[in-house]
C-alpha cells in the first residue's frame, strides 16, 4: 500500500505563502494522479487541486483558483502545493491523496482516491 506523507504546513499571516509537499515512502508519485484536499472541523473534506498522471493537467476548486498552484517534480517523485495570498478561511488540515490506477484522470471528490496522507495543519492568522 502506498504511504503518503505531507509536509510544509505551519502558521502564516494573511497574504503570506506556504508550500506543501507530498511524498511517497516507497514509490514516486510520477505516474499517480494526485490531489490536495482540506478539512476544517464540522465541514466536509474539500478537494482543492489535482494534477493528472496522464497529461499533467491541473485542476482547482473555485475557492483557491488563482492563488494556489499544484506541481510535480518527476525527478523527486514529489507533488507540491504552492499557496499564495493566503486567507484566514484557508485554515485547515491539508491532505494529499493518490489514485492507484496510474491512468486515472483528475477528480475533486474523495471517492476515487485510494491512498491518503495523515495531513498537515495550515493556520492563517494575524
Q: How many residues appear in the chain?
A: 126
Looking at residue 56, its pLDDT comes to 87
CA torsion, ordered 79, 27, 123, 57, to nearest 10 deg: 30
Q: What is the pLDDT of residue 24?
A: 82
Q: How far is CA 71 from the centre of its chain?
A: 10
Return the closest-CA partner of residue 32 out of 8, 69, 4.
4
What are the pLDDT tens digits along the chain (126 aa)?
Answer: 788 999 999 999 999 999 999 998 766 677 789 999 999 999 999 999 999 988 889 999 999 999 999 999 878 889 999 999 999 999 999 999 999 887 788 999 999 999 999 999 999 999
What local confidence, expressed as pLDDT, does residue 82 receive? 98
Amino acid at each position: 500500500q502506498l504511504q503518503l506523507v505531507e509536509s510544509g504546513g505551519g502558521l502564516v499571516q494573511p497574504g503570506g505563502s506556504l508550500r506543501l509537499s507530498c511524498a511517497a515512502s516507497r514509490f514516486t508519485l510520477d505516474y499517480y494522479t494526485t490531489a490536495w484536499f482540506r478539512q476544517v472541523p464540522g465541514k466536509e473534506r474539500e478537494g482543492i487541486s489535482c494534477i493528472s498522471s496522464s497529461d499533467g493537467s491541473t485542476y482547482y476548486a473555485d475557492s483557491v483558483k488563482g492563488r494556489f498552484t499544484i506541481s510535480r517534480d518527476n525527478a523527486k517523485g514529489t507533488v507540491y502545493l504552492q499557496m499564495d495570498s493566503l486567507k484566514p478561511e484557508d485554515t485547515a488540515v491539508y491532505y494529499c491523496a493518490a489514485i492507484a490506477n496510474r491512468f486515472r484522470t483528475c477528480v475533486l471528490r474523495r471517492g476515487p482516491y485510494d491512498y491518503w496522507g495523515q495531513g498537515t495543519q495550515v493556520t492563517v492568522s494575524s
